[in-house]
Amino acid sequence: MPPPAGTHVVTDQRQRRLIGLEVLVVLTVTTGLSAMRSALSLVESLLASTPLAEQQVALNAPAARIELVDLALQLVRVLQLVGWGALGAYLLLRAGFALRSVGLDAERPGRDLTGATVLAAAIGVPGLGLYLIARSVGVSVSIAPTTLGGLWWELPVLVASAAANAWAEEVVEVAYLLTRLRQLGWSENRAAAASAFLRGCYHLYQGAGGFVGNILMGLVFARLWQRTNRLWILVGAHTLINVVAFVGYALLAGRVAWL
């Protein structure tokens, strides 16, 4: 499938500077800034006296001591992630790209869902294996997808968080970033590598396993989008992977030895 209609290399120097500045601003307020925080978190973990393999990081942790305030803060975080993705989608619209041109339409929900399920299995199973290997050799922290403690609202919040994370990452790091890099004349390979590297850095807090695993996932996702322009497949697959990890951990922690 060809690139989205209207994706051409911008030659006007003023427009190129504005696009480059826009990309920097978007990444600064979204996943790029989080990637920097993630890198600093890894530095702190490596400098700690406790070995990396004996440290644990929680993906969905309590944010307040009062239960309803905690729930509100969890939902605010979900809203922030939705906003990140919405910002990327809005800027593409303002640039003249119809959302259907990047695969955000409802024309083929059945095929998108099937593709998302297959992709989730193809990425999720090897990803779990890589995580377990990284933990066994001591280059990854122990990841607790949730430490919310079984509160009545835990599972719905975990599902919302799973979908919001997927939406934010795939819109910003794939549809938005790759489209803008095409306009700046980047090759498909170079753009895919940049997108994948950003995704890996976003997960550096997990250690080497999370970094390498997400770079590989990012390369697959970027290339699939470049060839199909179907973003819902990526959002759906990422959501399924997250839901299995978050909800599965909440239901099985303490019952399965390797969690």
Report how far Cα 84 is from the mean position of its chain's Cα atoms: 11
Residues 141-158, mean pLDDT to the nearest whole number: 95
Structure token pair of residue 3: 């690139």
- Across the range 191-212, mean pLDDT stands at 95
What pLDDT, in 10s, does the model give residues 11-57?
999 999 999 999 999 999 999 999 999 999 999 999 999 999 899 99
The CA–CA distances, whole Å, from 144 to 58, 66, 110, 183, 259 equal 5, 22, 33, 40, 8
Please tell me what DSSP assigns to residue 36: H
Residue 230 has what DSSP assignment? -
Handedness of CA 241, 76, 28, 235 (dihedral sign): positive
pLDDT at 92 over 70: yes
CA distance 163 to 222: 19
Per-chain mean pLDDT for the chain: 94
Buried residues in 95-106 as b, exposed as e (16+ CB within 10 A): eebebebbbbee
Helix (H, G, I), strand (E, B) or coil at 152: coil
User: What are the extents of the domains in the chain?
Assistant: 13-252
- Burial readout 12-29 (b: 16 or more C-beta within 10 A, e: otherwise): eeeeeeebeeebeebbee
Q: Report the predicted TM-score, pTM, of the whole model to 2 decimal places.
A: 0.94
At residue 137, φ and ψ (nearest 5 deg) are -100, 5
pLDDT band at 258 (very low <50, low <70, confident <90, very high): low
Assess contact for 135 and 53: CB atoms under 8 A: yes
- The angle at the Cα of 256, spanning 251 to 259, to the nearest 5 degrees, equals 85
